[in-house]
Amino acid sequence: MVKLRFVKALTIIVIIAMVSVIAACSGGNDKNAAESSGTPSASDSPKASESPKETSEAPEENVTVKFGNFSGAGDTAKYLTQMQEAFEKEHPNIKIEIETIAYGDYFTQMQTRVAAGQAPDAYELNYENFVSYAKKGVLLDINPFFEATQFDKSTLNQQALNAFSADGTQYGMPGSFSNVLLIYNKELFAEANAELPTNDWTWKEFDDAAAKIRALDKNTFGVFQPIQFHEFYKLVQQNDGSLLNADKTAFTVNSPENVETLQRLVDRVLKSNVMPTQAQLSGVGDWDLFKAGRLGMIVTGVWAFSDFMQNVKFEWDVAVEPGNKKKATHFFSNGLVINKDSKVAEAAFEWIKFLSSSKEAAKIRVDAGWELPAVTYPDVLEAYLKTTPPANRQAVFDSLEFLVTPPVIEQFTEMADILGIHLTAASEGAKSAQEALDDAQKELTDKIKLQ
């Protein structure tokens, strides 16, 4: 009886739904047609896009550019506002409307909005997501703007600029960039009688120093360098390995070089224990461990500088991250892109150009210690170097020589998650390094389409 009722109920749902979906679809088409002919939707604030397409070419007309971002949140919001004010002064006819969304929520919200055709005119994307968006064709090619405004590309770091092109098309400009260094606690090094890191260090010196510091006492650890995807793709390159073959058509996750790399990482946790296990960390963050003076070395990004400058009570400095067969260091960059359907694309370009490459914006960034501007103005960089600690800020630029980018493919996040799970299995000792990477190789080959 009950079952019958459910079946009946379901049938009714199906019928109603069919009818209403059909009705909604046919109704929706008309509306879409109306919208694409330039009528702004009511949910945009009236000032936002009342100007039809042609007027954006007439600079006297006032336009509003909506700008979505995640990096100008919290403490850094005021610097973004400074940039906005400087820009609006220069371009009195362009008004910038900033929408800041916390990083954790950003891509979820951006995705729904892009899917609904409600994306902001210009927005920020991190490097990994940039490729997904670019390959799905929702971004605007900005090369024509480069040509029209005769943009001087040499004002930007070439590597950073190239990062935001896909399949030969420039889809974005670098907003900022950052890299990863070896940060160390000078006092623990002195206590342990270990030699301070230099730019020539390799894995061997690195691990020796870690062992010396670990020997100091039970609660002091030598190093923290998490066993996860983002470290791993870089570390295998230090050992001349890689996750994909050269033309990105096959995974090479379980190559001997990679297994050796993972083995070393696992040994640091389980064998020599110079790095704390998850249980030993017990929820204490890696930065907190360093700040508490219980960690000799930490491999982390330049974005830690402003926090460490304020909150670290002991002497600390930085060096280029040690490599093995060669050096390899991280490159992270947040790009600025333009929505393909933006009605104010030209103004949006002016804005991202300002954020990315203008001296004013770069200066605000440097003064604030808000990552690094991707610019090449010598005087701006000079100012960055002068700020201490760390004394060896030059290492930030020395590291640029060895930048490697993540193995970006369309299913990037999925790949990172799958490999991450197998890496954790190895780091817990549940599997050997070889087994873990064999399993990862198999699962990745099954699930990830390469070209």
Partner 1 sequence: MIRSRLIKPLLFYVFASILAIFALIPFFWMVSTSLKSKGALISIPIEWIPEKVSFEGYEKIFTVFPFAQAIFNSLFISVASTMLVLASALMAAYVFAKIEFKGREIVFTVFLATMMVPGQVTMIPVFLVLKEFQLLNSFTGLLLPTVFNPFAIFMLRQFIKTIHNDFVDAAFIDGASQPNIFLRIIVPLSMPIIATLGIVTFMGSWNDYFWPLIVLSDRDLMTLPLALSSLNGQYGSEYNTLMAGSLISMLPIIILYMFAQGFFKTGLQMGGIK
Partner 2 sequence: MRNKRDRMKWLTIVLFLLPSTIGLLVFSIIPIFYSLIISFTDWNGLNPWNLAAGTPDFIGFGNFKAILEGEEFWRVLKNTMYYIVLYIPLILAASVLAAILLNNAYRAIGLYRVIFFIPVLTSWVAAALIWKWLLSDDYGPVNAILSFVAGIDGPAWLQDRTWAMPGIVFASIWKDMGFFALIMLGGLQAINPAYYEAAHIDGANFWKRFTRITIPLLSPMLFFVLIMCIINSFQLFPQVMIMTQDAGPYGSTQVMVERIYKFAFKYYKMGYASSFSWILFVIIFAFTAIQMKLQKKWVHYDS
Q: How far is the CB of 311 from partner 1 (least distance, A)?
A: 8
Site for partner 2 in 11-40 (CB under 8 A): 13-14, 16-18, 20-21, 24
In the stretch 288-307, what mask flags binding to partner 1 with x, by CB under 8 A?
x--xx---------------
The only residue of 33, 116, 246, 279 in contact with partner 1, by rule CB under 8 A:
116
Buried b (16+ CB within 10 A) or exposed e, 20-39: eeeeeeeeeeeeeeeeeeee
Site for partner 2 in 401-430 (CB under 8 A): 411, 413-414, 417, 420-421, 424-425, 428, 430
Give bridge partners of residue 97 from the DSSP assignment.
66
The only residue of 23, 36, 41, 58 in contact with partner 1, by rule CB under 8 A:
41
Q: How far is the CB of 436 from partner 1 (least distance, A)?
A: 29
HEC per residue, 393-410: CHHHHHHHHHEECCCCCC
Distance CA 436, CA 444 (A): 12
- Residue 424 interface partner, choices partner 1, partner 2, none, CB cut-off 5-8 Å depending on type: partner 2
In the stretch 86-105, what mask flags binding to partner 1 with x, by CB under 8 A?
-------------xxxxxxx
Range in contact with partner 1 (rule: CB under 8 A) among 110-118, 155-163, 325-333, 420-428 = 110-118
Range in contact with partner 1 (rule: CB under 8 A) among 71-79, 137-145, 241-249, 255-263 = 71-79
- Residue 57 interface partner, choices partner 1, partner 2, none, CB cut-off 5-8 Å depending on type: none
For residue 108, state whether it binds partner 2 (rule: CB under 8 A). Answer: yes
Residues binding partner 2: what is the number (CB under 8 A)? Answer: 40
Task: Please say which residue, 403 or 409, places its beta carbon nearer to partner 2.
Answer: 409
- Residue 107 interface partner, choices partner 2, partner 1, none, CB cut-off 5-8 Å depending on type: partner 2
For residue 391, state whether it binds partner 1 (rule: CB under 8 A). Answer: no
Q: Cβ distance 415 to 444 under 8 Å?
A: yes
Strand 329-330 and strand 180-185: pairing?
Answer: unpaired
CA 153 to chain centre: 22
Q: How far is the CB of 180 from partner 2 (least distance, A)?
A: 20
For residue 38, state whether it binds partner 1 (rule: CB under 8 A). Answer: no
In the stretch 110-149, what mask flags binding to partner 2 with x, by CB under 8 A?
-x--xxxx--------------xx--xxx-----------
The only residue of 285, 382, 385, 414 in contact with partner 1, by rule CB under 8 A:
285
The residues binding partner 1 (CB under 8 A) are 5-6, 8-10, 12-13, 24, 27-28, 31, 41-43, 73-75, 77, 99-105, 108-109, 112-113, 115-118, 284-285, 287-288, 291-292, 311
The residues binding partner 2 (CB under 8 A) are 2-3, 6, 13-14, 16-18, 20-21, 24, 107-108, 111, 114-117, 132-133, 136-138, 278-280, 282-283, 411, 413-414, 417, 420-421, 424-425, 428, 430, 446-447
